[in-house]
C-alpha cells in the first residue's frame, strides 16, 4: 500500500521538451513510472529524445482525453508555472505535482484560491519540491530512485535534499518507505504537513512516519498538535536551520525567521512536547526513528 502515487498513476509531464523535463522523464520511465504523455505548447506531435514512445501534446486536455493521464508533474519555468498548474486542474487531473522552484508568491496565492474554490477535488503537491515516490512502484519528480526501498515508513518533508538524506539513512538501516512526499519549501503551497500526515495515518501500508521541517512559518507547530491528537503511529522528526541567522532567507522562499517567529528551537520544542523524537543532527535522522521503533 502507499499514498498519492503507485501502479495506477498515469503521468503527464508538463514541460517535457525542456532539458530538466526530458532528463527526469527518462529517469521516471526507467524507474517504471507509467509516463503516458508529455505537454509543451507548440510541440504537439513532436518527439523528445529517448522518449520517442511518449506522445507529445500541446495541451493537458489532450493528454487526459487521448492518453488517459490522471497525474501531472510540472517542470515549466517559474513565469509560466501558475498557468500550467491551473491548466492541469481544469483538464481534470486529480493530482498535480509542481517541481518548479521560484514561482512568485502572488501567483501562488491566486492558484491556491482558484484550486480551493473551483477544483476542491484536485490535490496540489509543491511547488518547489522534489516530488512523490512510492518505492518499487512509481516515481514522480526529481529524486534519485536507487536510494529508496519499499517498506513501511511514510516520509514527509519541506526540503528536497534532506528527504534524500533521510531516505538514504532509512534504507541503509533496512527501513523501507511506503511513500516519500516532498511538500516543498515555498510559503504558499498545496499539500502541507497535516494533509500528508492524514494520508499516512489512514494508510494501512504505513506503519511509522518521519517528518522533516525547517525554519519559517508555523506549520511544524501545527503538525505537532495534529499528531498529538490524531496520529497513533510512531513519528520521528528533524528540523533544519538550527543555526540560521534571523532575517535572512535561507534559499527556500519560506525559510526565514522573521519577527521572532519560525525559529528551529520553537519547532523542536513543540514536536518534543507532542511526544515526537527529534534527531539532534541530520546524520541521525534514520537512527532516531530506528530507536523509536526498537
Partner 1 sequence: MKIHEYQGKQLLRKYGVPVPVGIPAMSVEDAIAAIPKVQEQAGTEVVVVKAQIHAGGRGKGGGVKVAKNRAEAEEAVKKIFGMQLVTKQTGPEGKKVQRLLVEQGLALDHEFYLAMLLDRGIGRVIVMASAEGGMDIEEVAEKHPEKIFKHAIDPATGWMDWQSRLLAKQLGITGKLVNELVKMMGPLTKCYEEMDCSMLELNPLVTTKDGRVLTLDAKITFDDNAMFRHKELEDWRDPNEEDASEQEAKKWDLSYISLEGNIGCMVNGAGLAMSTMDIIKYYGGAPANFLDVGGGATAEKVTAAFKIITTDPDVKAIFVNIFGGIMKCDTIAEGVITAVKETGLKVPLVVRLEGTNVELGKKMLADSKLNIIAADNMADGAQKVVKAAKEAR
**Maximum Cα–Cα distance across the chain:** 56
Place of cell 501531472: 72
CA angle 237, 143, 193 (to 5 degrees): 35
Nearer to partner 1, 42 or 245 (CB): 245
Nearer to partner 1, 249 or 291 (CB): 249
Residue 154 sits in the site that holds partner 1 (CB under 8 A): no
Q: Rule CB under 8 A: choose which of 106, 174, 265, 291 binds partner 1.
A: 106
Q: Which residues are catalytic?
A: 252
**From the CB of 49, what's the least distance to partner 1, in Å?**
17
- Lay out the site mask for partner 1 across 111-130 (x = CB under 8 A, - = otherwise): -xx----------------x
CA distances, 8 to each of 23, 32, 173 (Å): 23, 12, 29
Q: Residue 248: how many CB atoms within 10 A of its CB?
A: 12
**Burial of 223 from C-beta contacts in 10 A (0-12 / 13-18 / 19+):** buried
Residue 207 sits in the site that holds partner 1 (CB under 8 A): no
**From the CB of 255, what's the least distance to partner 1, in Å?**
6
**From the CB of 155, what's the least distance to partner 1, in Å?**
13
User: Contacts by 21-27 with C-beta closer than 8 Å and gap 24+?
Assistant: 21/75, 21/76, 22/48, 22/49, 22/50, 22/51, 24/75, 24/99, 24/141, 24/142, 25/51, 25/54, 26/50, 26/51, 27/139, 27/145
**From the CB of 128, what's the least distance to partner 1, in Å?**
9
- Lay out the site mask for partner 1 across 49-88 (x = CB under 8 A, - = otherwise): -----------------------------xx---------
- Lay out the site mask for partner 1 across 232-271 (x = CB under 8 A, - = otherwise): ------x-xxxxxx-xxxxxxxxx--xxx-----------
**In the chain, which residue ranges form alpha helices assigned H by DSSP?**
19-31, 60-67, 78-90, 105-118, 160-172, 193-202, 219-230, 264-273, 285-293
CA distances, 215 to each of 25, 82, 189, 193 (Å): 32, 25, 16, 14
Residue 38 sits in the site that holds partner 1 (CB under 8 A): no
Cα(166)–Cα(1) distance, rounded to whole angstroms?
21
Candidates 5-13, 29-37, 143-151, 194-202: pick the segment binding partner 1 (CB under 8 A): 143-151
Instruction: Quote the cell numbers at residue 48.
Output: 523528445
Residue 1 sits in the site that holds partner 1 (CB under 8 A): no
Candidates 35-43, 53-61, 86-94, 212-220: pick the segment binding partner 1 (CB under 8 A): 212-220
Q: Rule CB under 8 A: choose which of 1, 225, 283, 291 binds partner 1.
A: 283
- Contact residues for partner 1 (CB under 8 A)? 19-20, 24, 27, 78-79, 99, 101-106, 108-110, 112-113, 130, 141-144, 147, 157-162, 164-165, 168, 185, 187-188, 212, 214-215, 217-219, 222, 238, 240-245, 247-255, 258-260, 280-284
Amino acid at each position: 500500500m502507499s499514498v498519492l502515487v503507485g501502479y495506477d498513476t498515469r503521468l503527464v509531464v508538463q514541460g517535457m521538451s525542456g532539458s530538466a523535463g526530458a532528463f527526469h522523464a527518462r529517469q521516471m520511465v526507467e524507474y517504471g513510472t507509467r509516463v503516458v504523455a508529455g505537454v509543451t505548447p507548440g510541440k504537439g506531435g513532436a518527439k523528445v529524445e529517448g522518449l520517442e514512445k511518449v506522445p507529445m501534446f500541446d495541451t493537458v486536455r489532450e493528454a487526459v482525453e487521448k492518453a488517459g493521464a490522471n497525474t501531472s508533474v510540472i517542470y515549466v519555468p517559474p513565469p509560466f508555472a501558475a498557468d500550467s498548474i491551473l491548466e492541469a486542474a481544469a483538464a481534470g487531473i486529480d493530482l498535480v505535482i509542481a517541481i518548479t522552484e521560484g514561482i512568485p508568491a502572488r501567483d501562488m496565492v491566486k492558484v491556491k484560491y482558484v484550486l480551493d474554490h473551483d477544483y476542491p477535488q484536485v490535490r496540489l503537491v509543491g511547488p518547489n519540491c522534489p516530488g512523490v515516490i512510492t518505492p518499487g512502484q512509481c516515481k514522480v519528480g526529481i529524486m534519485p530512485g536507487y536510494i529508496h526501498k519499499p517498506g513501511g515508513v511514510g516520509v514527509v518533508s519541506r526540503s528536497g535534499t534532506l528527504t534524500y538524506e533521510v531516505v538514504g539513512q532509512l534504507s541503509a538501516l533496512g527501513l523501507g518507505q511506503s511513500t516519500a512526499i516532498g511538500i516543498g519549501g515555498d510559503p504558499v503551497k498545496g499539500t502541507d504537513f497535516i494533509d500528508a500526515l492524514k494520508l499516512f495515518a489512514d494508510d494501512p501500508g504505513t506503519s511509522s512516519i518521519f517528518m522533516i521541517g525547517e525554519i519559517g512559518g508555523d506549520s511544524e507547530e501545527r503538525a505537532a498538535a495534529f499528531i498529538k491528537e490524531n496520529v497513533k503511529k510512531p513519528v520521528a522528526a528533524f528540523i533544519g536551520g538550527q543555526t540560521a541567522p534571523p532575517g535572512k532567507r535561507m534559499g527556500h522562499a519560506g525559510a526565514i525567521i522573521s519577527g521572532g517567529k519560525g525559529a528551529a528551537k520553537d519547532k523542536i520544542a513543540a514536536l518534543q512536547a507532542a511526544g515526537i523524537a527529534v534527531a539532534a543532527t541530520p546524520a541521525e535522522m534514520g537512527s532516531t526513528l530506528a530507536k523509536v521503533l526498537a
